[in-house]
Amino acid sequence: MAAIGRGDGPRSAVVVGAGIVGLSTAWFLQERGVSVTVVDRTGVAAGASWGNAGWVAPGLAIPLNEPSVLRYGLRSLASPAAPLHVPLSADPGLWAFMARFAVNCRWSSWSRAVQANLPLNDEAIEAYDVLTANGVAAATVDAPITAAFETSKQAKGLLRELARMNAEGQHVEHAVLTGGELRELVPLAGPALTTGVRVDGQRYVDPGAFVQALGRAVVARGATVHTFDVADIRTDAGGVTVCRAAGKALSADVAVLATGAWLSPLAKRWGARVPVRAGRGYSFTVPVDRPVPGAVYLPDVRVACTPYQGGLRVAGTMEFRPPDARGAPARIAAIIASVRPLFDGVRWDERRDVWVGPRPVTPDGRPLVGALRAPGIYVAGGHGMWGLAHGPVTGRLLAEQITTGKQPAALRALDPLR
């Protein structure tokens, strides 16, 4: 095993986490000649990388910490069915996190998050193209995302957000649609929906299928995937050791923590001061009477809909509960109640693939990507709702830092030691 610090960089790595972020980091490390071992507590694409809406939508990667979200979150405390729900609980860690989130719900912090995400947004789709052109056998679909509203007044909220993004340097091609134009793109739109905003230049994927294909590509390049809970990571002059509760440990030159909503316990030990909490989302799939040509966004009820295996995947809510907590059926019922009046031709009672999973959220709207305090230990996570969109480009940038020893400019604002 090569010692850390040699000029030719590390030769081996253990990547902890087999979601889109971890596997992308593994793939790009392999591209740079590093031998990779992958560890996951459950298996490839077992978490948020399976059940999300499947959007590769850099144009809608709008940070969560807008001032309006704080006001909305405070009102939601009284309603467990609200799209954004913070349960009244005795969890001091949650309330410490929410206090930091509240401090960051101001325009100056929001602008910093937008600026930090710009490099990821700019290269998000290209990074997907690199993967699919080099052995990742999964489709990505070019299609606009159509936001639908009951009134033109409601549409102004999204248009203001896009204008703010544009002012920060994130130009998003979009167009306002009449009711007739909306129905051409969203055949399921009911009479209640009268106005649309078409957001161009976006994509969607079958997220589970894509991440599984990425996992197969990483294995085909020589990686081994192990399934166990990581109990500890140790470091010494010879490299790092990834320990399990019982059984043989794994050793390598470097380790990457990409464990999503479970990131903080180990990352905090090695110097990460920004906490990561689970912002849990729910999804399910329903059959439809008419084909769905592209993804649909319902901003007023905070629901994302995507063509999926001949039906429609419906995803929504942001619920701050422990990542392994049982799902609440009332959350699914609330999503259906909010969308049912807006769509025609959806067979809600025949839903399948009901899922709840944790999205890793930070209080300042910026992910954690880079080196921790201990030599040879790196972290990648905290992307919130945009982990699928930003996973491949995050992996590419982090692999560059790991193999060269130099922090790319794009990762400075994401430094996990900030």
The pLDDT, as a whole number, for residue 3 is: 35
The pLDDT, as a whole number, for residue 92 is: 86
For the chain, which residues make up each domain, given as ranges?
12-414
> What is the Cα–Cα distance from 371 to 115, expressed in whole angstroms?
21
Question: What are the residues facing 281 on neighbouring strands?
Answer: 357
Instruction: Using the structure block, give the residue that is written with the tokens 């996992």.
Output: 215
Enter the pTM of the model.
0.93
The pLDDT, as a whole number, for residue 77 is: 58
Residues of the chain with pLDDT under 50: 1-6
The pLDDT, as a whole number, for residue 89 is: 72
Q: 249 — alpha (psi -120 to 50), left (phi > 0) or beta?
A: beta
Strand order in the sheet with 35-40: 224-227, 35-40, 12-16, 254-257, 377-381, 368-371
Three-class secondary structure of residue 342 per DSSP:
coil
Angle at 352 between CA 87 and CA 342, to 5 degrees: 70
The pLDDT, as a whole number, for residue 245 is: 84
Structure tokens at 193: 């929906």
Do 203 and 125 contact (CB within 8 A), yes or no? yes
The CA radius of gyration of the chain, in Å to the nearest whole number, is 21
- Tell me the CATH number for domain 12-414: 3.50.50.60
Closest by CA position to 257, among listed 17, 48, 49: 17
Do 295 and 145 contact (CB within 8 A), yes or no? yes
Phi, psi of 120 (to 5 degrees): -65, -45
